[in-house]
Amino acid sequence: KEPEDLEVIAQDIPLDIRYEDDAIMIVNKPAGMVVHPGFGNKTGTLINALAYILDDKEAHKGKRPWLVHRIDKNTSGLLVIAKTDEAMAHLSKQFKDHTIERTYLALAWGSFEPKQGTVESFIGRDEYDRKRFVVTEPSEDRGKHAVTHYKILEDFVYTSLVQCNLETGRTHQIRVHLKHLGHPIFSDEKYGGNRILKGVIFSKYKQFVDNCFSIMPRQGLHAKSLGFTHPTTKEWVQFDSELPHDMLTVLEKWRTAAATYGF
């Protein structure tokens, strides 16, 4: 856990800002950017960039007036930032009440059956690796309730494009739930998706998959859309983002391969 009083260094880091008004900001975070500074990442984070852009003196005390939620370092996509205490309180309540709509796209290993469903479980830290999370039993008293709704958008037999809607927002939730289903996210090193899990034992297929890994050396997961009640206008707002280049390139390769080779 990061210390609350860690000094935040304001840095002029370019951000892909998709929307901004007096209360909120919508940022499309690239894969590879850490959201909040910690002992191992004091600079180069989203918060460092926000400290510079918003010029909020409280930021230099390590406070978090803007960060309503997070996404993993190697996950790309949309984040909502609160620019005022009122917006923070309003958005935090929506997250707590599970009324915010969050849609992710994931490239996962294998063909899903059924093609649509819900994963409901408890998620807690892996006792053998504190940086990983696992599905736990309620009786273990070490997990948090987690619900993910999924729908298969495209099936390439060996991989699938999956739409995931979060009802809760636990750390690594989609990554853990898809692994629990037997379909780790493609190229997800932490959860075993960075090796060939489905397919044929041919050198050309191995070269194809390794090429995909090299194009996208991070989990194939993107926070595509956010929907919520605006904290000031009280109107429903919706924001969407396109797939980043690395994930789109790999997806197109799987589409072409599936159409060409019939798998």
CA distances from 154 to 12, 43, 108, 110, 226 (A): 39, 38, 11, 11, 22
Domain ranges of the chain: 1-97, 101-263
Minimal CA–CA distance to 223: which of 30, 88, 94, 32?
Answer: 30
Instruction: Determine the pLDDT at residue 140.
Output: 66
Which tokens is 118 given? 């819900």
Q: Is 35 exposed, middle or buried (0-12, 13-18, 19+ CB in 10 A)?
A: buried
Same fold, 1-97 and 101-263: yes
The Cα–Cα gap between 122 and 126 comes to 12
Relative to beta strand 24-29, strand 236-240 is unpaired
- Could you identify the residue written with the tokens 């044929």? 200
pLDDT tens digits in sequence order for the chain, 263 residues long: 444 556 778 899 999 999 999 999 999 999 999 998 877 778 889 989 998 888 754 543 444 557 899 999 999 999 999 998 999 999 999 999 999 999 999 999 999 999 999 999 999 999 889 889 999 987 667 789 999 999 999 999 999 999 999 999 999 999 999 999 999 999 999 999 999 999 988 899 999 999 999 999 999 999 999 999 999 999 999 999 999 999 999 999 999 999 998 66
- Fold topology of 1-97: Pseudouridine synthase (3.30.2350)
Instruction: Determine the pLDDT at residue 115.
Output: 97
Instruction: Determine the pLDDT at residue 37.
Output: 81
For domain 101-263, which CATH number applies: 3.40.30.10, 3.60.140.10, 3.30.2350.10, 3.50.50.60? 3.30.2350.10
Instruction: Determine the pLDDT at residue 127.
Output: 87
Q: Which active-site residues does the annotation give? A: 72
